[in-house]
Amino acid sequence: MERETYKGYDLWGHAIAQQAELLTPERYAGGGTIIQGNKLICTSGVLDLFDSEEEAQDAGIAWAKAWVDTHG
C-alpha cells in the first residue's frame, strides 16, 4: 500500500495480486481509499488491472485525489 496526505485527507493506493491462470504473468488490481480523522470516507473498488504493483497503487492515489478535488 502507498499512503499520501492530500488536502487534509489520508489517501491510500492498493495493489492486489491477480493471476488468472498458472502460466499467466501476475497482474495487480488497483484501488483507492480515502480517510479523514480516522474515519473511512470512501473506497473505489477495483479500478483496473495493472502490470506492476506501483502502477496499481499510483492509480488508486490518482483516483483518491480526483475524488477529494470533486467532493472534498
pLDDT score for 59: 98
Q: Model confidence over 13-72: pLDDT tens digits?
A: 999 999 777 667 789 999 999 999 999 999 999 999 999 999 999 999 999 999 999 997
d(C-alpha 45, C-alpha 59), whole Å: 12
What number of residues does the chain have? 72
Least Cα distance to 47 among 4, 13, 5 occurs for 13
- The CATH number of 2-71 is 3.30.160
Question: Helical H runs in the chain?
Answer: 53-71
**pTM for the whole structure:** 0.90
E strands in 1-72: 2-6, 9-18, 27-36, 39-43, 48-50
pLDDT score for 23: 66
d(C-alpha 70, C-alpha 62), whole Å: 12
